[in-house]
């Protein structure tokens, strides 16, 4: 009679170990590495060192939608060029709110369009200048170079249109001060970002955003092709669900961001 317990003991131990391993595997989060950048209202690090903006809000929503998901390194700030370099080297797993460049598509899959970026200009309120087309902007740049953030996709776009640019800095507060001090006449960038930095600087009475839209760019949620295809599929489905249930629309309204063109 004592034989049976001894025979079944290894089986019971194996079953318990298998159960524990299965639970540990299920509980272990899918970790994806990202990085912050100074692009309010899309993504920034606030004075307390916490990530803030549309992308961090989206990360929270995704982690609720996929409890096994954990998005890490959200406070590590990188320039756009370093985001691309780290993505290429396998040091980043996802990009939130980036344009659809050919280089990025080599290393990442575009899971969903998130935001629509409108290219507009900020000028001084006391400046009567009116620019209604890219041709007029090119002509105005012959008199005074257009301020734009250094090494940005906006700078690249303006250069492709033969527009003279001043990309002497990548600091938005400095660009606003240059504009106010008449060290520049036009600042070219994303509408939502311009509105955010002007309001934060308390310059709504000194600066205005002109109505002309010179170009439009769709900004995407991208995941490195090195990420497990099963996780990429789960993320794509979660993003579709967040679009369908209104979560993404709520985030856009909160930060005054345009919806992407479908």
List, for residues 3-61, the tens digit of each pLDDT value: 444 444 455 555 445 444 434 444 448 999 999 999 999 999 988 889 999 999 999 99
List, for residues 80-110, the tens digit of each pLDDT value: 888 989 999 999 999 999 998 778 889 999 9
Domain membership flag for residue 56: yes
**Residues 131 and 208 reside in one and the same domain:** yes
pLDDT for residue 23:
41
**Residues 54 and 123 reside in one and the same domain:** no
List, for residues 240-262, the tens digit of each pLDDT value: 999 999 999 999 999 999 999 86
**Residues 111 and 230 reside in one and the same domain:** yes
Domain membership flag for residue 211: yes
Domain membership flag for residue 262: no
**Residues 61 and 111 reside in one and the same domain:** yes
User: What distance in Å separates the CA atoms of residue 20 and residue 217, rounded to the nearest whole number?
Assistant: 48
Domain membership flag for residue 202: yes
Cα distances (angstroms) measured from residue 10 to each of 21, 175, 251:
16, 71, 54
Domain membership flag for residue 24: no
**Residues 45 and 161 reside in one and the same domain:** no
**Residues 139 and 212 reside in one and the same domain:** yes
**Residues 126 and 249 reside in one and the same domain:** no
**Residues 103 and 128 reside in one and the same domain:** no
Domain membership flag for residue 249: yes
- Domain range holding 72? 30-116+218-255
Domain membership flag for residue 21: no
Task: Count the domains in the chain.
Answer: 2
Give me the CATH number covering residue 168. 3.40.190.10
**Residues 147 and 205 reside in one and the same domain:** yes
**Residues 109 and 178 reside in one and the same domain:** no
User: What distance in Å separates the CA atoms of residue 137 and residue 141, rounded to the nearest whole number?
Assistant: 6
**Residues 122 and 210 reside in one and the same domain:** yes
Which residues, in sequence order, are bridge partners of residue 110? Answer: 222
**Residues 133 and 210 reside in one and the same domain:** yes
In degrees, rounded to 5, the angle at the alpha carbon of residue 81 between the alpha carbons of residues 76 and 87 is 70
Mean pLDDT of 176-193: 96
pLDDT for residue 73:
86
Domain membership flag for residue 227: yes
pLDDT for residue 47:
86
């Amino acid at each position: 009679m004592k034989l049976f317990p001894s025979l079944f003991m290894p089986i019971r131990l194996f079953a318990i170990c298998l159960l524990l391993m299965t639970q540990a595997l299920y509980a272990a989060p899918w970790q994806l590495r990202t990085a912050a950048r100074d692009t309010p209202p899309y993504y920034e690090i606030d004075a307390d060192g916490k990530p803030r903006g549309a992308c961090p809000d989206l990360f929270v929503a995704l982690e609720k939608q996929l409890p096994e998901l954990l998005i890490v390194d959200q406070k590590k700030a990188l320039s756009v060029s370093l985001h691309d370099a780290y993505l290429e080297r396998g040091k980043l797993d996802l990009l939130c709110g980036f344009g659809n460049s050919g280089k990025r598509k080599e290393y990442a899959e575009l899971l969903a369009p998130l935001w629509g970026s409108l290219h507009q200009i900020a000028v001084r309120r006391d400046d009567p200048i009116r620019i209604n087309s890219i041709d007029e902007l090119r002509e105005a740049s012959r008199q005074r170079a257009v301020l734009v953030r250094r090494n940005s996709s906006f700078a690249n776009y303006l250069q492709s249109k033969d527009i003279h640019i001043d990309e002497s800095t990548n600091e938005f507060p400095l660009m606003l001060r240059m504009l106010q001090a008449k060290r520049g006449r036009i600042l070219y960038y994303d509408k939502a970002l311009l509105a955010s930095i002007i309001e934060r600087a308390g310059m709504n009475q000194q600066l205005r955003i002109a109505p002309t839209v010179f170009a439009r760019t769709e900004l995407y949620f991208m995941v490195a092709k090195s990420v497990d295809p099963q996780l990429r599929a789960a993320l794509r489905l979660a993003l579709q669900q967040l679009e369908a249930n209104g979560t993404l629309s709520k985030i856009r309204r909160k930060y005054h961001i345009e919806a992407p063109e479908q």
